[in-house]
Structure 1
Amino acid sequence: MTENASPPPLGRLARPRLYEQLVEQLLGYIESARLRPGDLLPAERDLAERLGVSRATLAQALVALEVLGVIDVQHGTGAVLRHRPSVATVIRGLREHRSRLPDIVEARSTLEVRLAALAAERRTDEDLAAIDRALDEMRTEIDDGGRGAHGDELFHQAVTAAAHSPVLAQLMAFIGEMVLETRLESLAQPGRPEQSLASHRSIAEAVRAQDPAAAAAAMQRHIELVSDVALLD
């Protein structure tokens, strides 16, 4: 390099995304408070005040940690710590989660739309009863102030079972953990549990009417609905 040569320009450091900053603060609080697995985090209102963020923003960060299995958000109890990972591990997990969301949606569209059509063709009275029980379970959860996640899971399992396709059912089981990620994020959106339940009812009606085309279309609309998640920026 000659004396007059100027050094190469420095690249601008990327500013951490808001969700990454919040995750770091949350994990820092957990560390400083010496919380152990099984301990309860403070109420959302108190935690938001300590971190200086809105409750809505905090809720999204908590969902992100729930998706990664760091905490378990229980209705009526609050957020319970499951384990204490390193900040680097959690940030890496969140980035990987964001990058694979489109692939998860693509897989669901491929599998579940076909399963809904097959369910409409092959469902039995027992299958319809299982679907109805799942809808009732989700309605009860929502009425009690919950997100309806268990009823949601039961509904999709019931539709899969009604298709009577063992290979497709195995494929759904294979991506089950990844689908759970999108379920938790989706049902955390304001008003989404009620929207998702209504969407489930449309699928169930088409399956009951033995209309494969309508069932497939209703499932596709449902997947597009639940895939619209407000990820932290």
Structure 2
Amino acid sequence: MNSKIIKPKRLYQEIGNKLYQELADGRYKIGDRLPPERDIAEKLSVSRAVVREALIMLELMELVEVRQGSGVYVIKLPSVQPSAEHEEKSVDAEDAGPFEMMQARQLIESHIAEFAATQVTKSNIKQMREALDMERKNIEQGTADYDGDKMFHLAIAEATQNSVLVDIVLNLWERRERSSMWKQLHSHITDQTYREKWLGDHDRILAAIQRRDSIEARQAMWQHLEHVKDTLMGLSEHGAPEFDGYLFNSNPVKISDS
């Protein structure tokens, strides 16, 4: 196996390595289109989100090219003995997949929002409103600035009055900001109207926290991050137009009020 394959630490890396090996074994030639995500997911018994992440990995290695509305095409085959001229791009083994990060945020931040609703102060509410005002201005100005979004989520963590929880949320955002996988996923997203929907989600989260409704705050945050995952999957879709868009359930955990 080629030394450029990274040692699997995450599921998308394991799947990416399997696809890499298929390329190295000559199963495809340059110009071929890879099977639809649904077929790969069913064959390997993983979710489409994991397959999407594996394809991003191969894209970062410059072995495949995503063509919106058409599919994923092979543009280079792994070299048995890479030379300086044909050196393959490496992938950071520590980089988590964007959908894996979103799932972690969903599990953690929904409970943080729930707790914040029981601890919030007037000062915290003011900070959240300021964050939403910043986010609204970012959207109106059409900038790619997510500072308001980040500030809002951090303000909720700060409303717990627990510095460890603030550190956890900050770490999740910092991982996103330095993630090559996250940046590559977003490179295929050109429609920015989804941000208005996310702003509406934030309004509902704030309203629940302000009412000190901990259950509604948890559910509103959970649903918001579910919307984010669904939006990222939909807007980064690269399958052919006839593809049916089948999506494996990547989120088996259900909220219960009990």
Pair in the same fold by TM > 0.5: yes
Question: In 2 relative to 1, CA 157–142 (structure 1 residues): closer, same or farther, beyond 3 Å?
Answer: same
Letter in 2 for 1:145: G
User: Quick check: 1:168 aligned with 2:171?
Assistant: no
Deviations, residues 28-82 of structure 1 (Å, cap 9, x unaligned): xxxxxxxxxxxxxxxxxxxxxxxxx77x99xxxxxxxxxxxxxxxxxxxxxxxxx
Runs of 5+ in structure 2 lacking a partner?
Answer: 1-24, 35-54, 71-86, 239-258
Cα distance in structure 2, aligned partners of 1:150 and 1:118: 23
The structure that is helix-richer by fraction is: 1
Q: Contact conserved, 1:119 with 1:159, CA < 8 A, in 2? A: yes
2:175 to 162, 173, 178: 178
Q: Contact conserved, 1:116 with 1:207, CA < 8 A, in 2? A: yes
Cα distance in structure 1, aligned partners of 2:159 and 2:218: 14
Larger Rg: 1
Cα distance in structure 2, aligned partners of 1:151 and 1:173: 14
Structure 1: 4+ residue segments shifted above 6 A: 16-19
Q: Contact conserved, 1:111 with 1:168, CA < 8 A, in 2? A: no
Match of 1:200 in 2: 202
Match of 1:223 in 2: 225
Letter in 2 for 1:12: R
Alignment partner of 1:207: what SS?
helix
Note the 1:41-56 alignment, pairs <5 A: none
**1:192 Cα deviation after fit:** 1.3
Deviations, residues 97-135 of structure 1 (Å, cap 9, x unaligned): 5x6234312321221011101111111110000000000
Match of 2:247 in 1: none
Question: In 2 relative to 1, CA 21–125 (structure 1 residues): closer, same or farther, beyond 3 Å?
Answer: closer
Letter in 2 for 1:208: Q
2:121 to 118, 124, 149: 124
Alignment partner of 1:88: what SS?
coil
Letter in 1 for 2:202: H
User: Quick check: 1:13 aligned with 2:14?
Assistant: no
User: Quick check: 1:151 aligned with 2:148?
Assistant: yes
Letter in 1 for 2:114: A
Alignment partner of 2:97: what SS?
helix
Question: In 2 relative to 1, CA 218–178 (structure 1 residues): closer, same or farther, beyond 3 Å?
Answer: same
Q: Contact conserved, 2:150 with 2:173, CA < 8 A, in 1? A: no
Match of 1:35 in 2: none
Match of 1:214 in 2: 216
Question: In 2 relative to 1, CA 167–188 (structure 1 residues): closer, same or farther, beyond 3 Å?
Answer: farther
**1:168 Cα deviation after fit:** 1.9
* Identical-residue share of aligned pairs (%): 26
Cα distance in structure 1, aligned partners of 2:134 and 2:61: 32
Q: Contact conserved, 2:127 with 2:155, CA < 8 A, in 1? A: yes
Q: Contact conserved, 2:154 with 2:170, CA < 8 A, in 1? A: no
Deviations, residues 139-162 of structure 1 (Å, cap 9, x unaligned): 011111124511101111111111
Cα distance in structure 2, aligned partners of 1:12 and 1:96: 29
Q: Contact conserved, 1:147 with 1:193, CA < 8 A, in 2? A: no
Question: In 2 relative to 1, CA 140–102 (structure 1 residues): closer, same or farther, beyond 3 Å?
Answer: closer
The Cα RMSD (Å) is 3.6
Letter in 1 for 2:119: R
